[in-house]
A and B are shown apart, each in its own frame.
Chain A
Amino acid sequence: DIEMTQSPSSLSAAVGDRGTITCRASQRISTYLNWYQQKPGKAPKLLINAASNLQSGVPSRFSGSGSGTDFTLTISSLQPEDFATYYCQQSYSTPYTFGQGTKLEI
């Protein structure tokens, strides 16, 4: 199975800061990388698919980049509603594995 490792595991930031989360795959996965946001007690929400494709309705302050083994989720200016847990997921080969999550806190 492909192992996905996110860093950091938690991130403290303030409203208006730039937030950056990285995800590393244990083998090359091209751009088969998705990002999800999860708020407490809620289901995850798809933010970005194929490494950089922003889902409809997701604010443009979110962006994704990377290919191969290293990927980045960037939030250009953190808003109060962005404080949540973020997961990356590879869809290069089954089973489609997730990273362990990054909790973004104020």
Chain B
Amino acid sequence: EVQLVESGGGLVQPGGSLRLSCVASGFTISNNYMNWVRQAPGKGLEWVSVIYNDGSTRYADSVKGRFTISRDNSRNTLYLQMNSLRTEDTAVYYCVRGSSWYDYWGQGALVTVSS
């Protein structure tokens, strides 16, 4: 069974940092495109970042230069390092598998950026 379990969310002050983790089971993340998608409270879905099976990465303009996506193949775990956080980064962050469509989603990790 495919499962994605996020952790690492919490409350952080503006300008602070946080790292999200996503442990995958039932498949190998290095053979798949893995994404982070976020949803601000009461708002729609926004793609944040992707790491391709070849290890290359891409970012939404809104997070470029501040967020870094990575993976640990030995742990089958995806990460999102978030630096210089802003209030507008407050959202539930989902770990998502998929290339042209997103077929498996984690339960989400809430990140709140507030003073």
Contacts and interface: CB of A to CB of B under 8 A. Distances in A.
A43 B100 contact: no
B46 A98 contact: yes
Interface stretch (A18-26, A67-75, A88-96): A88-96
A30 to B, nearest CB: 11
A49 B101 contact: yes
Interface in A48-95: 49-50, 55, 87, 89, 91, 94-95
B27 to A, nearest CB: 15
Interface in B49-102: 50, 58, 60, 94, 99-102
25 contacts: A34-B100, A34-B101, A34-B102, A36-B45, A36-B102, A42-B107, A43-B94, A43-B105, A43-B106, A43-B108, A44-B45, A45-B105, A55-B103, A87-B45, A89-B102, A94-B50, A94-B58, A95-B47, A95-B58, A95-B60, A96-B47, A98-B44, A98-B46, A98-B47, A100-B44
Interface of B: 44-47, 50, 58, 60, 94, 99-103, 105-108
